[in-house]
Structure 1
Amino acid sequence: MAATHADDGSDPIRAARSALRVERRRVVDEREALSAFRSRVSSIPDENAAETGGGGFEGTAGVGGAVGGAVRDAVGNAPRPGSRLVAVREAYRDTVMSVPHYAEEYDDTYERSVSEEFGPEMAYALTRTQSFRAEYKRSLLGAVETAVQEREAFLDALESEIESVERAGSRLDPIRSEIEAIADELGGDEADAADAGFGALDACRTRTVALREDCDRIAARRQRVLADHERRLALGDDLDLPEYCYQRLDVSYPALAAVGTVGDRLEALRSRIERAMACGD
C-alpha cells in the first residue's frame, strides 16, 4: 500500500487519527474472530490415544511422512474429508482467516498462519499429524485464549494512544490560532511589524515564548505516553506501538511531528519579531 502523507492534507495528527481508527477496527475484528474460533474448537471432539495410537507433541516428528509433504496415513492415503483436524482447519479459515483485512495484512497459508499465531509446535500438531488429540485441543484452546488476551491488551494501548493523540491535537489547535493572530498583528513584513512599536513587539515575543513552553509540555506528555506503551507492550525488538500503527505514514511519531512543526513556526515568528525590534531601534 502506498504511504499516507503524514500531514493528511494539513496535519499529521489527522493522518494518525485515521490510522488508529483502521488499526482499532482490525484488532477488534481479530479478537472477535479468535473468540469465534475458540467456540468452534470447543465443540470439536478430540481423539484419544487409544483410538489413534498416536503420541503427544514429542511423538509428532515422525508422523505423516516427510516434512513439507501432505499428511498421509500408513498406506499413503490422505486424511479423510470431515476429520477433526479438517474441522479445526475449516473453523480457522472461516473465522481468523476471514477477517476483512486478512489478505492485505497477512495473506498467509493456513499452516503459516497458525504457526505465527500459536507457535510452530502447535502448527505441526494441527497440520502434520493424523488426529486431533486431547492434548492438542487443550494446548490450542490455551493458545487461542492467550491470543485473545493479547488483542485485549493491544486494544487498551490503542485507546490510550487515541486519547493521547486527540489531547495533543486539541492543545495544539489554540496554539496555531494564536500564531495566526500574532502574525496578523505584525502585518506583512518587518517594516509593518516595526510600526507596531517596541512595546507591542516585546509583548508578542513574550507570547511566542509562552506558546513554545506549551509545545514543550505537550511533547513531554507524549513522551511519557510512549514510554508507557513500551512498558506495556512488546511488538518486537525494533518496533514500538507508534511505529507499528503509523508504518504507512511518512512519519513514525505524527503527534510529535505536529508539535515540532508548530514549534518551528513559533521560532520563525519569534525571529521575525526580533528582526522587527532591531529595525525599530
Structure 2
Amino acid sequence: MATTTEPTDGGPGVLDDAREALRVERRRAGDEREAFRAFRSRVASVSAEPVRTDGGAGPATGGGGPLGVAAPGSAASPASGPPAGSGLVAVRDAYQETVMSVPHYEREYDDTYERSVAEEFSPELAYALTRGSRFHEECKRSLLDATETAIEERERFVETVRSEIESVERAASRLAPIRSEVASTEDEAFAESGFGTLDAYRARIEVLVDDCDRIAARRQRELASHERGLALDDDVDLPTYLYQDLAPTYPVLATVGAVGDRLSEVKRRIERAMAGNA
C-alpha cells in the first residue's frame, strides 16, 4: 500500500487513503474468516486416530504426551513429524490449502505451517500437529475449538472495521462543509471589511472551531469503544494497526487538526484586521 502525503491542509486525500486501507482490511479479514471456516469443515471430516505408544500394530494402549505427542523413545518420535498418510498430514494439507492460501498470506505473513499454527492456535497445539504421531480425538477437539476461536476473532474484527469505516465516513461528511467554508473565508480581504463584519467573521470561525472539537471528541470516544472490543497487542492500538502504511497514524484526528490550524490562522488575520480598524 502506498504511503500517503502528510495532511498539510486538511484536504480529503488522507481520509480517502484511510477509507481505502479499511476496505482492504475488511476484505482480508473476511477472506481469513472464510478460510478458517473451510479449514474447520475439513478438520471435522478427518477421522481421529488412536494414540500409539508401543510402536506395534495392535490397538493403542493410551498414554503419550499432551495432545497425543508420542513419548520419547517410542517408534514415532516427535522429531520425525507426522507419518505419511496420517490424519495430521490431512490437517496440514487442509490448513495449507485454506488458511495459507488466502490472497494476502505471503505479503502479510509468509510463515511456515508450523509457525502459522503456533501463532494462530498455541505452541502446544502446533507441536502436536507438527511433531505428533497421531491425530487423536483430544487433539481434534482442541484444534476445532481453536479454529472456532480464530473464526470468532475475525468476525469481531470485520465488525470493528465496518464500524471504523462508518466513523471515518461520518467525520469526512462533517468536515467537508467546514473545509469548504474555511476555503471561501481564507479568500476574503479582511482589511477592506468593517469592524462589525469582521466581528461576525470571527464569531463564525469560533463556531467552526467548536464543530471541529466535537468531531475530534466523538472520534476519540469511537476509538476507545473499538479498543474495548478487540484484543490487539499491548504495544499496538487499532489506528496504528489499521493505518500502518499511511503517513498519519490517526488520519481523522490529523485532518481535524489541520483544518483547525487553518481556522486559527484565519482567526488571527481577522483579529489583526479588527485591531487595525479600532
Tell me if TM exceeds 0.5: yes
Pair 1:160–1:278, CA change in 2 (3 A): same
Aligned mates of 1:4, 1:95 — CA distance in 2: 33
Q: Which residue, out of 197, 217, 242, partners 2:214? A: 217
Counterpart code for 2:51: A
CA contact (8 A) 2:243 2:249 kept: yes
Q: Counterpart in 2 of 1:229? A: 226
Q: Counterpart in 1 of 2:253? A: 256
1:135 aligns with 2:138: yes
Pair 1:2–1:13, CA change in 2 (3 A): closer
RMSD: 2.0
Q: Counterpart in 1 of 2:55? A: none
Counterpart code for 1:79: P
Counterpart code for 1:27: A
Pair 1:13–1:203, CA change in 2 (3 A): same
1:1-281 aligned at under 5 Å gives the runs 3-7=3-7, 10-49=12-51, 51-53=59-61, 55=64, 57=66, 60=69, 62-63=71-72, 64-65=76-77, 69-71=79-81, 79-80=83-84, 82-184=85-187, 186-187=188-189, 193-281=190-278
Aligned mates of 2:48, 2:33 — CA distance in 1: 24
CA contact (8 A) 2:70 2:77 kept: no
Pair 1:134–1:126, CA change in 2 (3 A): same
CA contact (8 A) 2:69 2:134 kept: no
Residues paired across the two proteins, number? 266
Pair 1:87–1:58, CA change in 2 (3 A): closer
Residue 70 of structure 1: how far off its partner (Å): 4.0
Counterpart code for 2:247: D
Pair 1:134–1:176, CA change in 2 (3 A): same
Counterpart code for 2:270: I
Using the size of structure 2 for normalisation, the TM-score is 0.90
Residue 12 of structure 1: how far off its partner (Å): 1.7
